[in-house]
Amino acid sequence: MCLAVPMKLMTINDSTGVVEMSGIEREVSLALVPDAKIGDHVLIHAGFAIAVIDEEEAQETLKLIREYLSESGPDGN
């Protein structure tokens, strides 16, 4: 199973950017989303931003991930 996590784009430097979620920051490639802008929510998978999504979709996805983790435990069992 593959999972893409929504994160907020904080900075852009050429084809890379820094994204943030819950205080965690990561540098990612923006090569697949060249129109992404600072403040956008992007789906992150394997170090790449793969899509720009709206804030409502980002929040709903994060809510579902948190619910899943609280029901099954952090290791998915």
Residue 52 located in a structural domain: yes
Domain count, the chain: 1
Residue 46 CA to chain centroid, in angstroms?
10
Residue 53 within a domain = yes
- Spatial neighbors of 33 by CB under 8 A, at least 6 apart, are 42, 49, 50, 51, 52
Start-to-end CA span in the chain (Å): 15
Compute mean pLDDT per 10 residues along the chain, 77 residues long, and list them: 89 97 95 97 97 95 89 65
Residue 77 domain flag: no
Rounded to 5 degrees, what are φ and ψ at 14?
60, -115
As given in the structure block, the two tokens for residue 77 are: 């069992």
Q: Is residue 26 part of a domain?
A: yes
The boundaries of the domain holding residue 19 are: 5-72
What's the CATH code of the domain at 12?
A: 2.30.30.140
